[in-house]
Amino acid sequence: MSARKKQKTVRAEETSEIIERKSYARVGLLGNPSDVYFGHTISFSLGNFWATVQLQPSEDLVIQPHPTHDLVRFSSIDHLVNRLQNEGYYGGVRLLMAICKVFHKYCHDNNIELKGGNFTLSYDTNIPRQTGLSGSSAIVCATLNCLLDFYNVRNLVKVEVRPNLILSAEKELGIVAGLQDRVAQVYGGLVYMDFSKEHMDKFGHGMYTPMDTRLLPPLHLVYAENPSDSGKVHSDVRKRWLEGDEFIISSMVEVANLALEGRAALSDKNYTKFAELMNRNFDIRRLMFGDDALGSMNINMVEVARSVGAASKFTGSGGAVIVYCPEGPAQVKRLEDACQEAGFIVHPVEVVGSFVKDVDPKAVSCT
């Protein structure tokens, strides 16, 4: 590197701060997967797990591979094959690159000038893989927050638009999903979402209403250490819905209405009703998708929770379930014992407080 280039790099590092942003996993509480069928959902940010992205000014624009999630050096061919079988081919680098492209295009299309130099992006995450907790979108969301602050354009990119940008980045990579997860991660806290077709067609996004997280009863997260892939669940149902399958259409309307009922139940602190809605959400999903699509391990997680009298449903497309124990600590202990015997992991849920006011993209966890 020339002296001039080195001096330029040092000056950039001295005059610009390193930006680090965090985005949390999310739990689809009620109504999922109706977000991609013009329905209603309730979701919240899960404080137990998160992704962090760091943006550091640099001479060139660099996407830094993660030492574990973007592994390209192996001890043997057996190591490589085992890694691919367990983790797949994809790490996080593609996610960072995709949101950079989508963000740049959005700013260009909306006459938002991007002033500034280059940077190095790096990321880390502790969100368990393939658990339906939106680990990929958490990385994308945290990256978007870094870009908004690096270019100082946060006030020019409306908060309700940001979930669409995150989803667009994932669609660049062939990831099939809806807006629900990204809304929960952008807004934080507990959010009621209305994806009515009329509003979506007119504005391109849903209507998002933050709720008081204190309305939630104590919840538990159950997940498998080696879950099945959660990315293949929607395909057949989506096709049938588009073809006008009456059972799928009516069932999806019922699922969406569960979020409406759940909003009222939580507001009234009617947790008996809330538990019924959780169970019903999973039961309808099971009828629509079928056991083969959901997977025996995912179904077993729900059934283990229900075996002790708890209410349970998927957090997303599978890989983890959210559980409510209405009888309190004694029932929680039975849940923990049953999960341990079945080989599942249990965590008390932490809910991340809302940061929808957009004053600070960092959030504070609360129980």
Residue in the block written with tokens 């009222």: 264
**Residue 323 to residue 218: CA distance in whole angstroms:** 9
Residue 301 sits at the vertex; the CA angle it makes with 295 and 305, to the nearest 5 degrees, is 150
Q: What tokens were used for 7?
A: 């001096």
Coil, helix or strand at residue 192 = strand
Cβ–Cβ under 8 Å, residues 166 and 137: yes
* Amino acid at position 83, single letter: R
Query: Quick one: which of 190, 182, 139, 114 has its CA closest to 355?
Result: 190
Q: What tokens were used for 130?
A: 């393939």
**Residue 189 to residue 124: CA distance in whole angstroms:** 22
Q: What is the DSSP string of 126-163?
A: -PPTTSSS-HHHHHHHHHHHHHHHHTT-GGGS-TTTHH
* Amino acid at position 85, single letter: Q
Catalytic site residue 181? yes
Residue 127 sits at the vertex; the CA angle it makes with 129 and 46, to the nearest 5 degrees, is 130
Cβ–Cβ under 8 Å, residues 201 and 328: no
Crossing angle between the packed helical segments 93-109 and 162-172, to the nearest 10 degrees: 130
**Residue 256 to residue 292: CA distance in whole angstroms:** 23
Cβ–Cβ under 8 Å, residues 102 and 172: yes
**Residue 126 to residue 48: CA distance in whole angstroms:** 9
For the chain, the helix, strand and coil percentages under 3-state DSSP, each to the nearest 5: 45, 20, 35
Find the catalytic residue in 78, 181, 212, 291.
181
Q: Return the active site residues.
A: 181
